[in-house]
Chains A and B, each alone.
Chain A
Amino acid sequence: MLNKKLYLNPDALNSRKVEQKHTRDGFGEGLLAAGGKDENIVVLTADLKDSTRVNLFADAYPKRFIEVGVAEQALASIASGMANYGKIPFISSYAIFSPGRNWEQIRTTIGIDGYPVKIIGAQAGLNIGHYGVTHQGLEDIALARVIPGMTVLVPLDYEEAKKATEQIAKLEGPVYMRLNRAVGPVITTSKTPFKIGNSEVLWSGKDPKVTIIGSGPILYEALLAAKELLKVSIDVMVVNCHTVKPLDELGIIRSAKTTGAVVTLEEHQVMGGLGSAISEVLSKNFPVPMEMLGVQDRYGQSGEVKELYEEYGLTKKDVIISVKKLLSRRGI
């Protein structure tokens, strides 16, 4: 059942009725709101103003908006200089370029001194569809999470992206936040609690036997799987782990203790992503059988979002298969 305490969208699991919105719109609106509250916020982009939705901020606060052109390396280091002075810079580009192309500049000029630069990587995951392999950021979480002191966020939906943006504006230190291109179902509402560093149980049966942990819009597939599994009397728990770093270690361990098995789901390489992070925590504290759904050491390609999720094994069906595998491993 959907967790009633979270005030989730009552239509969330009605895939025909549920509203579809962009996480990047949530970011753009959250940034506009944050900009109105804090004059120190500045926004820099590398020729991707509209696509990353910083145009809302740019139109409202043109003097605090800075276009650097196709120059992702300077984007990071100019922001470092502005933060050194006392500004709170948001830098927007595509995940493949930032933190992809400019990783060393982020590490050296933002990470080491812990400047409050907010790095926004849009077009992350397979869901960018048509544009194909060169633009599908599938390694950004791994790149960001190895930088000491970096907070790493993957919002679930439009509402969560909006809340996350307003919160990171006030957070000390650097942040990486990834955004999708495609629309995704609006699962949460404005009332749903959100706190950086937490994870939330979106769904749980009475006696869940497997935990499915994921982040980003792809987690919807896990919710659909949970609903379908309920029909065959298999109880699972679905956890939204929007903060990849710092990870909600206690919450994850607690969930693994409750169910005894974990499936991770992410639109990212399985190496170095959320699944790896969870595996690191559980293998040290409470090892349980795991299945890791994500991109299995492959590159992306063009196609419809649905086709790509099927090809790379990220659908409801794949989640169900993984859950059943774990149950049989445990002899249930």
Chain B
Amino acid sequence: MKYTIEDLESKAKEVRKDIIKMILKAKAGHPAGSLGMTDVFVALYFAILNYDLQKPDWEDRDRLILSAGHICPALYATMAHAGYFDHSHLWKFGDFGGMLQGHPHKGFLKELETTSGPLGSGLAQAAGIAYSAKMDDQRFRTYCITSDGEQQSGNHWEAVMFAGKNNLSNLTMIIDRNNIQIDGFTEDVMPLEPLADKYKAFNWSVIEIDGHNFEEIINAVNKARAIYENPTAIIARTIPGRGVDFMELNPGWHAKTPTKEQATKALKEIRNMQGSIKEYGE
């Protein structure tokens, strides 16, 4: 099924509502990054990734590696909407014995590509998959979602060098450039800029986009597919807490659970979001 931009915006609104409800129910989770990356996840699952729900381990599927495991509420809610599992599991997020562990754990949810959470390792895993695919002339693509905070990790840059050295053009990383991390704004904690120039210097192609604009997300991924020389970093500028006025751009909401009143307010704001996508990012 082909989705229009309006369909995707509408899906994203539903996913955001689920994220707030999941975090409220679990009394734990990372709302800011999850809401901020919702549009990217929805674009990936409804307009980009090649997968087969009947055969989740299909060997030609595209791989999505979530390095920033803490924003798994967005991944879980999007996967539920895509049909990977029943919606009811979302309300058991982080529950004992539940398949949606507090950080993604492949042992509990086999449809995940990897177990993740500790920042800085996901790109290396994605690069290992992409390298193997190239060895065997496999055509699938590997996507990796990283946070901006994890760009501070040395481990991550080891993988950046590796992917650049080996011209892993089948690898696309989407960086959630939301400017916040646990201890505050990235540029105060440990500045990342000029981020795009850093990637270019490491033999990566770089595309900078508005991470809330579906056209830009989809176009950037398509453009990356057509780059045969090297891997691509898509720097997606996102608003942390996107859709909930009092959470937006506030580092305090990186890993905070809303109260019931705050959650009600948040849900109301998300309901009113329809059609406002374009105004926000500009």
A residues contacting B by CB (< 8 A) are 42, 63-64, 66, 68-69, 71, 73-74, 76-87, 89, 104-105, 108-109, 112-113
Contacts and interface: CB of A to CB of B under 8 A. Distances in A.
B144 to A, nearest CB: 10
Interface in B100-150: 105-107, 113-118, 120-122, 124-133, 135
B105 A108 contact: no
Chain B, interface SS category: helix
B121 A105 contact: yes
Contacts of B121: 73, 77, 80, 105, 108-109
Query: Could you say which interface size class chain B belongs to?
Result: 20 to 34
A81 B131 contact: yes
Chain A, interface SS category: helix
A77 B159 contact: yes
A42 B134 CA distance: 14
B269 to A, nearest CB: 36
A276 to B, nearest CB: 27
* B114, B116, B128 — most chain A CB neighbours (10 Å): B128
Nearest to A85: B132
Given A105-B155, A109-B114, A77 B124 contact: yes
Interface string B19-57: 000000000000000000000000000000000000000
A58 B105 CA distance: 34
B252 interface: no
A78 B115 contact: no
Contact of A78 (B116, B117, B120, B162): B162
A74 B129 contact: no
Given A63-B135, A82-B132, A68 B162 contact: yes
A66 B162 CA distance: 10
B106 to A, nearest CB: 5
Contacts of A42: 132, 135
A71 B162 CA distance: 9
Contact of A68 (B116, B125, B158): B158
Contact of A113 (B107, B120, B155, B161): B107
Interface string B194-212: 0000000000000000000
